[in-house]
Amino acid sequence: MYVAVKGGEAAIRNAHALLAQRRRGDASVPEIGLDQISEQLSLAVDRVMAEGSLYDRELAALAIKQARGDLIEAIFLARAFRTTLPRFGASVPVDTGAMRVRRRISATFKDLPGGQVLGPTFDYTHRLLDERLATQAGDEASTPETVPAGEAPAPTLPSPDRTRLLPSSAPETEAGCFRPRSGRGFNNVPAPMPRVTDLLGDEGLIEPAPADDGTPPRDLTREPLSFPADRPLRLQALARGDEGFLLALGYSTQRGYARTHPFVGEIRFGEVEVSLYAEELGFAVPLGEISVTECQSVNQFKGSATQPPQFTRGYGLVFGQLERKAMSMALVDRSLRFAELGEEKSAPAQDEEFVLSHCDNVQATGFVEHLKLPHYVDFQAELDLIRRMRAEQADQGERQAPETAEAPHKEAAE
C-alpha cells in the first residue's frame, strides 16, 4: 500500500469486513460446516491438499470455506499455514504396491491379477443433472444396493458412490458384487494387487524402475527450484502443480506436441501406510494412512544403440482421488524424459524450465493478481514517457512538412 494514498487502511478494513459478510451469505441459510465440505466436496478437498502440499482434510476444508470456494486461494492458504509447521523428520517411501485399493483400473489388460475395481468414478455416469440431489431424496438415491456375491447386478450404470468388488476366489467376470460404503473405506477390500508395470517388467518389456541410490532427493519446499532439475525434483513440482496447466500440457502431448503415445498401464486409488524411521528403535514406526492416486503410463519406445525396443514409463502420484491430475502428471513426466531417452525436443511439454517455472498456481496467481494492486507511480512514469514520445513525433513531423512542400516547386523549376 502506498503511504500517499489517504484512507487506504480504513478502506482495506472495510473490504475485509465486507468479505466476511459475503462469505457467510444469507444468514437465514444454515452455515456450511467443515465436515460437510470434507465429506461432500471431497474432490475439492483433495485438490487443495495435493497442490497445497499439506495432507490434512480438516484444514483443507477450512481453507475452502475461508476462500469462498476459490480453490487456488485455498491452496495459497494451505501453503501459508504449512510454512508455520515444525519438521521433526521425513517418512520412508510409501509402498503403493501394498495399497488398500478402492479403485484400480488398467487400459492395457482386461484380465489381470486382482481384476479391475471400478470404485467411485464419474466415468460411467450420464452427464445429466440429477434433480434428486436438490432434495433430501438424493441421499437415498445415492445409497448403493447390496447384491449377493456371484449374482449379476441389475443392468444399470453404477453411481459414483458405488464400488465394484470382485469375488475373492474368482478372476474378473461380468458378475460382480456391489457393497455399501463403510466410513471412508469399503467392505471386502481386495488384498494388495501387483502393479501392471511389474508384470511387464517380469518379461523385460518395460524399462526397469529407477533404482534407489540412497541419495536423499532435493526438497522443493525447503530450497528454491534450480535447473537442470533431476526427475525426483520434477515430480515434486508436478505433484503440487496446477491441475489445469498440467492437463493442458498433457493434452498437447496427445495431439502430437511430444512423443508420448501413452497407454494407461494402471490407475489405482486407495490408502497407503506412512511410516517414520526411528533411529533410537532401529525400525520404521507406522504413523497412519493417507489416500493417494497413482498413475503409471506405458509409452512406446523404439530403442537405441544401447537399449532394446521396450516400453517406457510416465509416473504420477498425488494426494486424494485426483485421477485427471495423476494422468496429466504422468504424461508430462514422460515428455520431460526426452533427453535421457535420446529423443528430439520438439514441444513445450518437453521444455523443463518452461513447465516447472509455470506450473505452480500460487506463484502464477501472485504474479498475475499483483496487477490489481496500485501502480500509480509506475503508470504516471509510463504516461509521461508516452506524452514525450508523441510530442517528439509531432515536432519531427512539423519539421519534415516544409521540406516535403518545397519538393514539387523544385521539380517544376527544373
Position 97, amino acid: G
Q: What angle do CA 202, 195, 38 make, to 5 degrees?
A: 170
- 3-state SS, residue 145: coil
Give the side-chain half-sphere CA count within 13 A for 67: 20
The three cell numbers locating residue 289: 494412512
By the 8 A CB rule, do 321 and 43 touch?
A: yes
pLDDT one digit per residue (tens) for the chain, 414 residues: 344 455 578 888 888 888 888 888 888 888 899 999 999 999 999 999 999 999 999 999 999 999 999 999 999 999 999 999 988 888 888 899 889 999 999 988 888 888 888 888 888 888 888 888 888 655 655 665 554 444 444 433 333 333 333 333 333 333 333 333 333 444 455 566 888 888 888 887 888 888 777 788 888 888 888 888 889 999 999 999 999 999 999 999 988 887 777 889 899 999 999 999 888 888 889 999 999 999 999 887 766 667 778 888 899 999 999 999 999 999 999 999 888 888 888 889 999 999 999 999 998 988 998 888 888 888 999 999 999 999 988 888 778 776 665 655 555 555
**CA pair distance 383, 216, nearest whole angstrom:** 52
Selection from 270, 106, 100 nearest residue 172 by Cα: 106
Selection from 84, 81, 57, 77 nearest residue 362 by Cα: 77
By the 8 A CB rule, do 117 and 165 touch?
A: yes
- Would you give the end-to-end CA distance of the chain in angstroms? 69
Give the pairing of strands 283-299 and 100-105.
unpaired
Position 279, amino acid: E
Looking at residue 328, what is its pLDDT?
94
- 3-state SS, residue 275: strand
- 3-state SS, residue 63: helix
Match 458412490 to its residue by C-alpha cell: 161
What is the DSSP code string of 165-225?
E--TTS-S-S--EEE-EETTEETTPPPP---HHHHHHHTT-BPPPPP--SPPPP-TTTS--
CB atoms within 10 A of CB 305: 5
By the 8 A CB rule, do 97 and 192 touch?
A: yes
Give the side-chain half-sphere CA count within 13 A for 161: 17
Can you say whether residue 176 is alpha, beta or left, with left for phi > 0 and alpha for psi between -120 and 50 degrees?
beta
Looking at residue 22, what is its pLDDT?
85
**CA pair distance 369, 379, nearest whole angstrom:** 17
Angle between helices 243-254 and 323-335 (to 10 degrees): 60
Match 471431497 to its residue by C-alpha cell: 42
Looking at residue 23, what is its pLDDT?
85
Looking at residue 144, what is its pLDDT?
59
- The radius of gyration of the chain from alpha carbons, rounded to an integer in Å, stands at 29
Sign of dihedral through CA atoms 234, 240, 244, 245? negative
Residues 6+ apart with CB under 8 A from 54: 60, 78, 79, 81, 82
The three cell numbers locating residue 216: 536423499
